[in-house]
Amino acid sequence: MKPKLNFAAMLICSMFLLAGAHAQPRQNIDKDQLPPDFVPSGKQMFTQYCAACHGPDAKGNGPARVALKVPAANLTTLAKRHGGTFPYDYVTKVLQFGPGFATHGSSDMPTWGPIFRYMDNYNNAAVQKRIKNLCDYLNSLQEK
């Protein structure tokens, strides 16, 4: 139990350090001031967890692209490819269960659900908030 808590605390702390580099005043870095269900912004999570594969602009050109069996998808055309509306349900399922949830997926895309559950100490509301923040951020990047 103990190492897990320490790991989560370190992770949250380093996330906040990153946020601090942008706009937050320094005193906010103290982890004791973080609410237990603290969830980073969608943009911050995207940069940290997704940009390596999907690219900083979400168009699928991340630096890890060469190492992937299947190229990482362009995430700015999701709405376009789903009848003009950002597919919240679809993206939520991809994040929870992996991109293969509909077919027999076999790509390198991590299944984020269990990772977020672990990071959030099995707080389901926090996990849902993470996914919602990521969806909102991706929604804001959609091509018209």
Kindly list the residues in this chain that would bind ligand HEC in the complex (CB under 6 A): 49-50, 52-54, 64, 68, 70, 72-73, 75, 78, 91, 94-95, 99-100, 105, 107-110, 112, 134
116 CB-contact burial (10 Å; exposed 0-12 / middle 13-18 / buried 19+): buried
Comparing CB distances to ligand HEC, the nearer of 26 and 69 is 69
CA distance 108 to 111: 9
CB of 69 to ligand HEC, least distance (A): 7
CB of 62 to ligand HEC, least distance (A): 7
Between vectors from CA 59 to CA 56 and to CA 62, what angle results, nearest 5°?
Answer: 50
CB of 130 to ligand HEC, least distance (A): 9
Comparing CB distances to ligand HEC, the nearer of 12 and 78 is 78
Q: How far is CA 73 from the centre of its chain?
A: 15
Report whether 86 contacts 142 (CB < 8 A): yes
Q: How far is CA 101 from the centre of its chain?
A: 17
Comparing CB distances to ligand HEC, the nearer of 16 and 137 is 137
CA distance 105 to 136: 25
Comparing CB distances to ligand HEC, the nearer of 53 and 127 is 53
CB of 142 to ligand HEC, least distance (A): 12
